[in-house]
Amino acid sequence: MKTQPVTPVPSGRVLAKATVVALLIGIGVLVTIVMPAEFGVDPIGTGRALGLLDLYASESNAAAPVIILPTEGGPVFTQVSPYKSDSREFTIGAYGTLEFKYQLDAGAAMLYEWRATEPVSFDFHTEREGNPDASDTFEKGEASVKRGAYIAPYAGIHGWYWKNNTEREVRIVLTSTGFYPSARVFRDGGAGVEVAVTDEPR
């Protein structure tokens, strides 16, 4: 006669200990990681130490509605950097990609329009100064024309990643005005090259 293997059943005391340990770990995770990253609450300083408060700030900035008060100074965003205007044309080969971003300080404004000869995939996103791995996408989709106003929520490079999903060459004309000293262009995934923006409006 064969005997079935007996699976040991933990006693009530062991189960209670395990529950308490799991609860403590859960509270630990909540206090050290979840609260700083999700709610911006950092009771013991782990959020700042691990950079989790940046995640909260990033999400808050992306989601916060723009509130412009009709009061003195309310709709006015005084700028420090010199005012520039920029116009350039890019050609993206079949199935090619191109990335172009302006250097903007926190609070710096930009007005822009780009037009493509065919619809392209675009991703308007950022790379934070000092932490290029921290990136936020603010708008993405497919279009042949986009225009808008943008105020940088933090210092870094801010701009577009375009993908040509056709077998034909696509031309993109970008015009903008804003408070940027320079820009960077990245072609087909290569290393970025800094380009000067020297055209100051007369």
Task: Rule CB under 8 A: choose which of 135, 144, 175, 182 binds other proteins.
Answer: 135
Closer Cβ to other proteins, 134 or 155, answer by number: 134
Span near other proteins by CB under 8 A; candidates 25-33, 80-88, 101-109, 194-202: 25-33
What is the Cα–Cα distance from 100 to 38, expressed in whole angstroms? 31
- Regarding 45 and contact with other proteins (CB under 8 A), the answer is no
Task: Rule CB under 8 A: choose which of 95, 141, 171, 199 binds other proteins.
Answer: 95
Handedness of CA 6, 8, 11, 12 (dihedral sign): negative
Task: Rule CB under 8 A: choose which of 88, 115, 146, 163 binds other proteins.
Answer: 163
Q: Could you tell me if 98 and 89 are in contact, meaning their C-beta atoms sit under 8 angstroms apart?
A: no
Pick left, alpha or beta for residue 88 (phi over 0 → left; psi -120 to 50 → alpha; otherwise beta).
beta
- Regarding 162 and contact with other proteins (CB under 8 A), the answer is no
What is the Cα–Cα distance from 170 to 142, expressed in whole angstroms? 14
Minimal distance, residue 144 CB to other proteins, in Å: 16
- Regarding 49 and contact with other proteins (CB under 8 A), the answer is no
Q: Provide the 3-class DSSP secondary structure of residue 149.
A: strand
- Regarding 41 and contact with other proteins (CB under 8 A), the answer is no
Size of the site for other proteins (CB under 8 A): 31
Q: And the tokens for 132?
A: 């290029």
DSSP codes joined into one string, 145-193: EEEEEEE-SSSEEEEEEEE--SSS-EEEEEEEEES-SEEEEEETT---E
Span near other proteins by CB under 8 A; candidates 20-28, 66-74, 173-181, 190-198: 20-28
What is the Cα–Cα distance from 168 to 96, expressed in whole angstroms? 10
Closer Cβ to other proteins, 157 or 197, answer by number: 157
- Regarding 26 and contact with other proteins (CB under 8 A), the answer is yes
Minimal distance, residue 136 CB to other proteins, in Å: 8
Binding mask of the shown chain, residues 176 to 195, with x at each position contacting other proteins by CB under 8 A? ------------xx------
- Regarding 17 and contact with other proteins (CB under 8 A), the answer is yes
Q: Which helix (H) or strand (E) holds 140?
A: strand 137-151
Q: And the tokens for 18?
A: 């395990």
Residue 174, number of CB atoms within 10 A of its CB: 21
Task: Rule CB under 8 A: choose which of 31, 57, 81, 93 binds other proteins.
Answer: 93
